[in-house]
A and B are shown apart, each in its own frame.
Chain A
Amino acid sequence: MRDYGVFDILGPIMIGPSSSHTAGAARLAKVAAIIAGGKIKKVEFLLHGSFAQTYKGHGTDKALVAGILGLDPWDENLKISFSLAREKGIDVEFVGKDLGDVHPNTVKFVITKEDGSSTEVTGSSIGGGNILIFNIDGQNVEFTGERPTILTHHKDLPGVISKISSILYEENINIANMRVYRSGKGRMATMALETDSVISKNAMDRIKNTEEVENVKFINPVAEGDM
Chain B
Amino acid sequence: MFVSSGAELIDICKKEAITIGEYTIREEMARSELSREDVEGRMRKNLHVMLSSSSLAQEKEVKSVSGLIGGDAFRIRKYAEGNNTLTGDFMVRAMARAISSSEINAAMGRIVASPTAGSCGILPAVIISAAEKLNKTENDMINSLFTASGVGIIIAKNATLAGAEGGCQAECGSAAAMGAAAAVEMMGGTPEQALNAAAIVLKNILGLVCDPVAGLVEVPCAKRNIAGAVSALTTADLVMAEVASKIPFDEVVWAMYKVGRQLPPELRETAQGGIAITPTAQKLKDEIFKEKNTL
**Interface range on chain A: under 10, 10 to 19, 20 to 34, or 35 or more?**
35 or more
Beyond A6-B146, A14-B110, A17-B108, whether A1 also contacts B4 by CB under 8 A is yes
The answer for the CA separation of A47 and B295 in the assembled complex, in Å, is: 9
A18 x B292 contact (CB < 8 A): no
B295 x A96 contact (CB < 8 A): yes
B46 x A13 contact (CB < 8 A): yes
A13 x B293 contact (CB < 8 A): no
A58 x B216 contact (CB < 8 A): yes
In the complex, what's the smallest C-beta–C-beta distance from B141 to chain A, in angstroms? 12
> Which residues of A have CB within 8 Å of B162?
127-128
Stretch at the interface among B37-45, B195-203, B247-255, B259-267: B37-45
The yes or no answer to A78 lying at the interface (CB within 8 A) is yes
From B45, B66, B108, A62 is in contact (CB under 8 Å) with B108
From A15, A56, A225, B293 is in contact (CB under 8 Å) with A56
A19 x B110 contact (CB < 8 A): no
From A6, A224, A227, B39 is in contact (CB under 8 Å) with A6
The yes or no answer to B281 lying at the interface (CB within 8 A) is no
The answer for the CA separation of A227 and B45 in the assembled complex, in Å, is: 9
The yes or no answer to A11 lying at the interface (CB within 8 A) is yes
The yes or no answer to B24 lying at the interface (CB within 8 A) is yes
A52 x B295 contact (CB < 8 A): yes
Beyond A16-B105, A22-B108, A57-B215, whether A94 also contacts B295 by CB under 8 A is yes
In the complex, what's the smallest C-beta–C-beta distance from A13 to chain B, in angstroms? 5
The answer for the CA separation of A38 and B39 in the assembled complex, in Å, is: 37
A 115-143 binary contact with B (CB < 8 Å = 1; else 0):
00000000000011100000000000000
A16 x B117 contact (CB < 8 A): yes
> Which residues of A have CB within 8 Å of B24?
6
In the complex, what's the smallest C-beta–C-beta distance from B63 to chain A, in angstroms? 12
From B65, B153, B214, A59 is in contact (CB under 8 Å) with B65
Q: Which of B42, B45, B46, B117 has the most CB of A within 10 A?
A: B117
> Which residues of A have CB within 8 Å of B46?
7, 10-11, 13
Beyond A4-B2, A62-B108, whether A53 also contacts B293 by CB under 8 A is yes
A 1-29 binary contact with B (CB < 8 Å = 1; else 0):
11111111111111111110011000000
A13 x B116 contact (CB < 8 A): no
Beyond A6-B24, A9-B152, A10-B148, whether A16 also contacts B111 by CB under 8 A is yes
The answer for the CA separation of A112 and B65 in the assembled complex, in Å, is: 29
The answer for the CA separation of A59 and B218 in the assembled complex, in Å, is: 13
> Which residues of B have CB within 8 Å of A153?
none
The answer for the CA separation of A16 and B110 in the assembled complex, in Å, is: 6
A14 x B1 contact (CB < 8 A): no
The yes or no answer to B17 lying at the interface (CB within 8 A) is no
Beyond A10-B149, A13-B49, A79-B108, whether A57 also contacts B117 by CB under 8 A is no
A3 x B32 contact (CB < 8 A): no
The yes or no answer to B115 lying at the interface (CB within 8 A) is yes
In the complex, what's the smallest C-beta–C-beta distance from B173 to chain A, in angstroms? 14
From A9, A16, A47, A225, B156 is in contact (CB under 8 Å) with A9
> Which residues of B have CB within 8 Å of A91?
none
The yes or no answer to A54 lying at the interface (CB within 8 A) is yes
The yes or no answer to B211 lying at the interface (CB within 8 A) is no
The yes or no answer to A178 lying at the interface (CB within 8 A) is no
The yes or no answer to B73 lying at the interface (CB within 8 A) is no
> Which residues of A have CB within 8 Å of B107?
16
The answer for the CA separation of A129 and B110 in the assembled complex, in Å, is: 14
Beyond A10-B115, A10-B149, A54-B215, whether A15 also contacts B108 by CB under 8 A is yes
> Which residues of B have CB within 8 Å of A127?
162, 164
B216 x A224 contact (CB < 8 A): no
B45 x A9 contact (CB < 8 A): no
> Which residues of B have CB within 8 Å of A11?
46, 112-114
In the complex, what's the smallest C-beta–C-beta distance from B77 to chain A, in angstroms? 20
Give me the interface of B with A, judged by CB distance under 8 Å: 1-2, 4, 24, 27-28, 31-32, 39, 42-43, 45-46, 49, 64-66, 104-117, 120, 123, 145-146, 148-150, 152-153, 156-158, 161-162, 164, 178, 214-218, 288-289, 292-293, 295
13 additional contacts (CB under 8 A) given A15-B110, A18-B217: A1-B4, A6-B153, A8-B153, A9-B149, A10-B149, A17-B65, A17-B117, A18-B117, A56-B66, A57-B65, A58-B216, A127-B162, A224-B45
- Selected A-B contacts with CB under 8 Å, 30 pairs: A2-B156, A2-B157, A3-B2, A5-B28, A6-B27, A7-B42, A9-B149, A9-B156, A9-B161, A10-B149, A12-B113, A13-B111, A16-B109, A16-B120, A16-B217, A17-B218, A22-B108, A53-B295, A54-B214, A54-B216, A55-B293, A56-B289, A56-B293, A57-B65, A59-B65, A62-B108, A76-B109, A94-B295, A95-B295, A128-B162
Closest 4 CB pairs of A and B: A16-B105, A96-B295, A56-B292, A9-B152
